[in-house]
Amino acid sequence: MSKRLPLAEYRNGILSGNRAILSRAITLVESSLDSDADLASQLVQEILPKTGNSIRIGITGVPGVGKSTFIESFGKLLVDKGHQVAVLAVDPSSQKTKGSILGDKTRMDQLAADKRAFIRPSPTGTTLGGVSSKTREAMLLCEAAGFDVILIETVGVGQSETAVKGMVDFFLLLMLAGAGDELQGIKKGIMEMADGLFINKAEGKNLLEAKKAKANYSNALHLFPLGENSWSPKVLLGSSLDGLGLEEVWKMISEFESITLERGFWQKNRENQRVNWLNECVQDLLGKAFIADKAVHKLMEDSEIQIKSGELSPIILAKRLTQLFLKSSTHQS
């Protein structure tokens, strides 16, 4: 493990746009070591005033839809427009080894080589929702380093892609045509969260199927009530390989930004996301404190055989453990 830097060196390096220090800072906030947690939280607090000046875009879709290819082509379009683009790509972790391939950087080799872009792959670990547990912190660090467009690529495992919605401004769902019954792919939960759909790989013989899919998805979206932002999600089609339709995607996102800013939803959404982040942090810290409590740990060990045999209900034990934890915490204070 590389030696940790002083807080000021992390802060100054990030604010000056130093990519190497930005990478090391993200490694710091992703660390599971207790010794790194305080430094990481201090760093996020230090750079907080320099954050919030980007547009945050979540991108999801089933495996094989072409997320990495889309992001590379879309990212290249944006940097050519003068934007500084950061890509936070989340790779699925093995539930057996907890390891991750982290291959997104190799799948976006052209964008990775562009000095106007920054790509950071991260493992999901045990986190659900298609993102890493520290994606929010990584996003803020990238904003402080001067990136004005943040693209978050989720794992893309189905309907669990919910956490990313709670940390982005615009949620883009990539879809495929010609892969069977088009409406079979419309799951109400994920569709209701999407601010826009892009039917990818609409090229060659697949173009006709893509046009049919666009009509089906558009009709399906009209069945959903408008969200709080009063935005009606659009359905676009194109090809990441050929770059077709990507300009229209950016126009759609820019239109969404303009409308939601005017209506006050943009700021309200970010305010709500910060409150939700607080709640998640509290739950995480309480969970760690609960597991680390000696009395709780002993009772869990003593009750393991009863739980495994079905003699004792997990609900009853959970209540006992919680009461014990509260009692233990009261005595300690």
**Same fold flag, 1-50 and 52-262:** no
Instruction: For the chain, state the CA radius of gyration.
Output: 22
Instruction: Characterise 264 by phi-psi region: left (phi > 0), alpha (psi -120 to 50), beta (else).
Output: left
* Residues paired with residue 236 on neighbouring β-strands, in sequence order: 198
Q: Which pLDDT belongs to residue 123?
A: 64
Other CB atoms within 10 Å distance of the CB of residue 38: 10
As a whole number of Å, the end-to-end CA separation of the chain is: 36
**Own/partner long-range contacts of 134-137 (Cβ < 8 Å, ≥24 apart):** 134/26, 134/29, 134/30, 135/88, 135/90, 135/163, 135/164, 135/167, 136/167, 136/277, 137/26, 137/29, 137/30, 137/40, 137/44
3-state secondary structure of 77: helix
Q: Which residue has the tokens 């892969």?
A: 179
Rounded-to-integer distance, Cα 14 and Cα 12, Å: 5
Burial profile 96-105: b = 16 or more Cβ within 10 angstroms, e = fewer: eeeebeeebb
pLDDT at position 56 = 98
Q: Which two tokens stand for residue 284?
A: 């995480």
Please report, as a single letter, which amino acid is at residue 1: M
Residues of the chain where predicted confidence (pLDDT) is lower than 50: 93-104, 125-132, 158-160, 180-185
The correct CATH number of 1-50 out of 1.20.5.170, 3.40.50.720, 3.40.50.150, 1.10.260.40 is 1.20.5.170
Q: Where are the domains of the chain?
A: 1-50, 52-262, 274-332
- Smallest CA-to-CA distance from 178 within 161, 203, 160, 197 is with 203
What is the domain class of 52-262 according to CATH? alpha beta
Helix (H) or strand (E) holding 198: strand 196-200
Query: Which tokens is 117 given?
Result: 């872009």
Q: Given this model, what pLDDT does residue 102 score?
A: 47
pLDDT value at residue 75: 97
